[in-house]
Structures are given as C-alpha cells and as structure tokens.
Amino acid sequence: MTNHMNMKNLPESERPYEKFIHSGPSSLTDAELVAVIIKSGTSGRTAMEVARDLLTYRHQNLLNLYEYSFDELCSFKGIGRVKAIQLKCIAELSVRIARTQRGYHIQMSTPATVAEYYMEQMRHRKEEALWAAFFDAKCNFLGDSEISVGSVNYAYVSPRDVFRKALECNAVFLILLHNHPSGDPTPSEDDRHVTRRIISCGELLGVELADHIIIGDNCYFSFKQEHII
C-alpha cells in the first residue's frame, strides 16, 4: 500500500496547523499556506514539499496558483484533479476578495484608478474579455459584469447585454474594459468602432459611456485620457 506523507509525519515545529494555532495565519509562509490547502502529499513527499514545488517555477510565488492552468496543476506529482480544483478555487477567491475590498471605494475619478482596480484580474488572461463597470450620478461604483469572452484577439460585444446590465443597476455612467492578451493596449480599429457604437446606444438610453479602457501588461489605454471620448 502506498505510504502517503502528511502533516503528521513532520516535526511539530514544522506543522502549519500547529503554527496557525500558536501564532495565527500571518505567521505561515506561502508554502505552508498552500500545504494546508492540499493537506497531504504523495509517496515519499510531504505536503510541504509538494507546495514548494508549486511555488518554485514561473513567478516563484503565489501568483503561480492563478496562472497555472488546471492541467498544469494536475501535472505536478501529488496534485490530482480534486486538489487542482481546490487550488484554482482558492486563487479565484483571493482575486474576488481583493476586488471586494477595493471595489466599493472606487470612484470614477481617473482612468488610472479604474485601470489599477482591474489590472491584475485582466492582464493575465489568455483570451479577450469584455467587462462593464457601472456608476451612479455621483460616480460611485455600483458593480460590474463580464459581458463576453472571446478568443486571443476578439471579444464579441453586444450593446444589448451591456445596457441591460446598466439599466438593471440604474447606472448613469458606464466604463467598458477589455484586455489585450498580447500585452499591448493600443486600440484596434474594431475597438474604436465598438466605442463609437456604445456611445451612440448610450445616448439613446441616457447612459453615458464615460470611458473605454484597454488593459495591457501593467499598462493601459484610456479613450477618455486620450481625448477620443
């Protein structure tokens, strides 16, 4: 029978559970936090060793959990389908918690503020995705919605879907955002066409397109900032 290594095989001083009880979660290293999630290792390898493997490559930090695909996680020795699902869910939760903490403090004050809020969520995506963020008359954030997901270089835009969401939350302003997987946020002619189309529809419905922001790799393009809107 395979002898699976787990936390109980480690000295007490190295057990993340005991460390958590004595000193709290902030005392745990990144690898220890991951080890708590995956719980057990595999034949001849502890959960801590598996966790360190996950953090060793690519960015050499927790961002790996967000960037590794499901299949890539499953390729690690000691990570099966269930653990891979758990890790991807934890990574997604961390993104959503961070967004929730910041989200309702965001105002439509500058394009940089809005771009910063969405940057980490959107710049790592491998396909184009279109989001809309909604604001009231005082420019307070009302929420957002992913409108569509496309391919590497295309996201379908339906004005009906954009404005249905805007009207549901009684938005007065909206901001479109989409990413360029290439990392270059320079707008294409299609991007410009979509912007003009949404502006026209918004004028009819009384919901103003305040900006269209394209997210690149740690950079962005704002139609408002460039005086195109």
3-state secondary structure of 121: helix
Q: Report whether pLDDT(101) > 70.
A: no
Question: What is the structure's pLDDT at 223?
Answer: 97
pLDDT band at 155 (very low <50, low <70, confident <90, very high): low
Task: Please determine, for residue 129, whether its predicted confidence score (pLDDT) is greater than 50.
Answer: yes
Euclidean distance between CA atoms 195 and 67, whole angstroms: 30
Residue 95's pLDDT band, with cuts at 50, 70 and 90, is confident
For residue range 171-214, list pLDDT tens digits in order.
999 999 999 999 999 999 999 999 999 999 999 999 999 999 99
Hey, what amino acid is at 26?
Answer: S
Is pLDDT above 60 for 166? Answer: yes
Q: What percent of the chain has pLDDT over 90?
A: 36
- Amino acid type, 136: D
Partnered with residue 144 across adjacent β-strands are 133
What pTM, to 2 d.p., does this model score? 0.59
Containing 210, the helix (H) or strand (E) segment is strand 208-215
10 vs 87, more confident:
87
Domain regions of the chain by residue span: 4-100, 105-222
Using CA atoms, how far residue 68 sits from 19, 131, 183, 207, in Å, is 28, 23, 18, 39
- Please give the CATH number for the structural domain made up of 105-222: 3.40.140.10
Q: Which residues pair with 124 in a beta bridge?
A: none
Q: What is the pLDDT of residue 2?
A: 43
